[in-house]
């Protein structure tokens, strides 16, 4: 969204038009709606901007629930925004630490700032992009005490806040079609700046889940968070925001609630053993936090290979930290043998998972020529020096 488009949208007429639009769905007849809105005398630019916002609001429901219907977005801002339930967890850390004010540096469209304000914190939200800062001002309108500034994190006066929160930009600048930055030295603000603040003030830093663990300071707590199986971030927490005795944590959020594994350090690997009756695939947050060994021991399982994050046992144990599969049979990793076996079993729907082998699952699936009404999961992996395929059923 460009500045001129936002200015037109934020007129009384523009806001009224946007709020009058029906919920956007995949079945929305865009051409018909455009014709209707243009016939009512709305400019082509306002119609295009309003419809884009309606579409983004529809997509934003997954992250913001009903709040999305009164918010504004950019495509890049929505993609990078913290899910509101996760943002509420961030805010909870500041409240429990007894803090009353926070500067949200690199606030994006204001997801975390909304959670901070909703938790009763005095918020100063800052973003280097003018349009994004204006959108955050709109999104924070229900909290008139919240302050929003257009500026850089490095130039922000922090004398009136007790703590800071940073979500460094990890993609190229712009509102659409941005690209991920491969080098952390290119983040904005830089990690050196962020870590420098952590030496002075209680600080939280949101980073991508694949962030290089070698760059994580020893002085912080690193918490990886997954939502319904998707690892969404690693949060680094310093000072009173860090929990005592915890430096590694995996928080797993499902529709039925939240569960967490914590440790003072990376866990030692569990012993390696043979494939048993059940195979366990740890949640990605557990893998990223390197707490696989602790999880294995807690459920009486062993690892299948010291370098691969699959576990096994002969006893079925339910755990929120891993998906459980009942092993049907183990095969050599031979596509011709597997194609024949799957055809014999009538398996036409196949979930393919792989670790430790250089195979493209999509290409591998084509070579299997699947047909039939049954479904299964196929693990392509290594057991020691052997490349194997493990046919299994989800429990």
Pairing of strands 308-313, 203-207: unpaired
Instruction: Identify whether 238 is part of a domain.
Output: yes
Residue 161 belongs to some domain of the structure: yes
Look at residue 158 and tell me if it is in a domain. yes
> Residue 73 falls within a domain, yes or no?
no
Q: What's the domain count of the chain?
A: 3
pLDDT, position 348: 96
At 22 the pLDDT is 87
- What is the average pLDDT score of the chain? 94
Domain co-membership, 84 together with 225:
yes
Q: What is the pTM of this model?
A: 0.91
What CA–CA distance (Å, rounded) separates 88 from 91? 5
User: pLDDT tier at 175 (50, 70, 90 boundaries)?
Assistant: low
In a domain, 288, yes or no: yes
Task: For residues 127 and 233, state if they share a domain.
Answer: yes
Nearest to 394 by CA among 372, 370, 373, 378: 378
Same domain, 30 and 141: no
What pLDDT is recorded for position 172? 61
Mean predicted confidence (pLDDT) in 8-36: 89
Are 169 and 290 found together in one domain?
Answer: no
Look at residue 24 in the predicted model and tell me its pLDDT. 83
Q: Is 270 inside any structural domain?
A: no
Same domain, 360 and 335: yes
- 269 part of a folded domain: no
Average pLDDT, stretch 257-285? Answer: 97
Predicted pLDDT of residue 23: 84
- Top mean pLDDT of 21-25, 175-179, 189-193, 279-283 is at 279-283
For residue 182, the model assigns a pLDDT of: 62
> What's the mean pLDDT in 240-263?
97
Q: pLDDT at residue 26 above 80?
A: no
Token reading at 281: 């695939």
Q: For residue 132, what is the DSSP state?
A: H
* The two structure tokens encoding residue 330: 């183990």
162: CB partners within 8 A, 6+ apart:
99, 100, 101, 102, 201, 202
Q: Give the residue-averaged pLDDT of 144-168.
A: 96
Q: Stretch 130-149: mean pLDDT, rounded?
A: 96
With CA atoms as reference, report the closest residue to 269 among 299, 315, 305, 319: 305
Per-residue model confidence as pLDDT tens digits over 326-335 = 999 999 999 9
CATH number reported for the structural domain that contains residue 243 in this entry: 3.40.50.150
Residue 211 DSSP SS3: coil
Residues 154 and 246 in one domain: yes
Choose the final residue of a domain: 263, 293, 324.
263
* Helix, strand, or coil (residue 346): coil
**pLDDT for the residue numbered 180:** 67
* 223 compared with 189, residue with greater pLDDT: 223
Contact indicator for 258, 227 with CB cutoff of 8 Å: no
Q: What is the mean pLDDT of residues 54-62?
A: 94
Q: Residue 115 pLDDT more than 80? A: yes
Q: Are residues 159 and 283 in the same domain?
A: no
Q: How far apart are CA 15 and CA 70, in angstroms?
A: 10
What is the predicted pLDDT for the residue at 181?
Answer: 63
- In this predicted structure, the answer to whether residue 1 has a pLDDT above a threshold of 90 is no
381-to-52, 182, 314, 353 alpha-carbon distances in Å: 44, 28, 19, 8
Residue at a domain's end among 263, 286, 319: 263
- What band does 188 get if pLDDT is binned at 50, 70 and 90? confident
Average pLDDT rounded to a whole number, residues 278-291? 98
Pair (254, 286) in one structural domain:
no
Residues 6+ apart with CB under 8 A from 110: 104, 125, 135, 136, 139, 140, 148
Residues 193 and 335 in one domain: no
Shared-domain flag, residues 296 and 336: yes
In a domain, 268, yes or no: no
Q: Are 115 and 88 in contact (CB under 8 A)?
A: yes
Q: 211-241: per-residue pLDDT in tens?
A: 999 999 999 999 999 999 999 999 999 999 9
The arithmetic mean of pLDDT across residues 268-274, rounded, is: 95
| Residue 173 pLDDT > 90 | no
Do 95 and 191 sit in the same domain of this protein?
A: yes
CA distance 195 to 182: 19
195/205 Cα distance (integer angstroms): 9
Q: What is the pLDDT of residue 174?
A: 60
Choose the final residue of a domain: 38, 63, 88: 63
232 and 118 in a common domain: yes
Average pLDDT over residues 78-91: 95
Q: How far apart are CA 389 and CA 310, in angstroms?
A: 13
Domain that holds residue 293: 278-394
CB-based contacts of 220: which residues, under 8 Å, 6+ apart? 198, 236, 237, 238, 242, 247
């Amino acid at each position: 969204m460009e500045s001129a488009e936002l200015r037109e949208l934020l007129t009384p007429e523009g806001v009224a038009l946007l709020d009058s639009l029906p919920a956007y769905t995949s079945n929305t007849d865009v051409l018909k709606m455009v014709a209707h809105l243009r016939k009512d005398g709305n400019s082509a630019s306002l119609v295009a901007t309003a419809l884009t916002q309606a579409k983004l609001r529809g997509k934003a429901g997954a992250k913001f629930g009903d709040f999305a219907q009164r918010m504004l977005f950019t495509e890049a801002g929505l993609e990078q925004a913290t899910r509101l339930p996760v943002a509420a967890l961030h805010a909870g850390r500041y409240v429990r630490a007894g803090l009353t004010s926070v500067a949200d540096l690199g606030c994006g469209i204001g997801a975390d700032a909304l959670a901070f304000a909703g938790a009763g914190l005095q918020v100063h939200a800052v973003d280097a992009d003018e349009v994004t800062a204006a959108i955050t001002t709109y999104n924070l309108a229900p909290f008139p005490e919240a302050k929003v500034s257009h500026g850089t994190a490095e130039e922000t006066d922090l004398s009136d806040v007790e703590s800071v929160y940073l979500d460094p930009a990890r993609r190229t600048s712009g509102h659409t079609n941005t690209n991920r930055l491969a080098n952390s030295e290119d983040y904005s603000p830089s990690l050196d700046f962020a870590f420098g603040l952590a030496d002075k003030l209680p600080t939280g830093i949101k980073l991508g889940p694949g962030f290089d663990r070698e760059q994580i300071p020893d002085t912080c707590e690193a918490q990886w968070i997954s939502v319904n199986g998707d690892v969404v971030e690693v949060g680094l927490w310093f000072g009173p925001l860090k929990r005592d005795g915890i430096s590694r944590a995996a928080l797993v959020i499902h529709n039925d609630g939240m569960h967490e594994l914590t440790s003072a350090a990376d866990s030692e690997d569990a012993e390696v053993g043979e494939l048993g009756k059940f195979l366990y695939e740890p949640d990605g947050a557990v893998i990223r936090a390197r707490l696989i060994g602790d999880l294995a021991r807690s459920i009486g399982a062993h690892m299948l290979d010291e370098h691969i994050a699959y576990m096994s046992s002969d006893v079925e144990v339910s755990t929120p930290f891993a998906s459980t599969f009942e092993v049907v049979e183990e095969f050599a990793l031979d596509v011709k043998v597997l194609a024949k076996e799957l055809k014999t079993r009538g398996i036409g729907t196949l979930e393919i998972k792989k670790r430790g082998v250089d195979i493209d699952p999509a290409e591998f699936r084509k070579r299997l020529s699947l047909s039939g009404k049954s479904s299964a999961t196929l693990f392509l992996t290594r057991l020691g020096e052997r490349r194997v395929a493990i046919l299994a059923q989800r429990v």
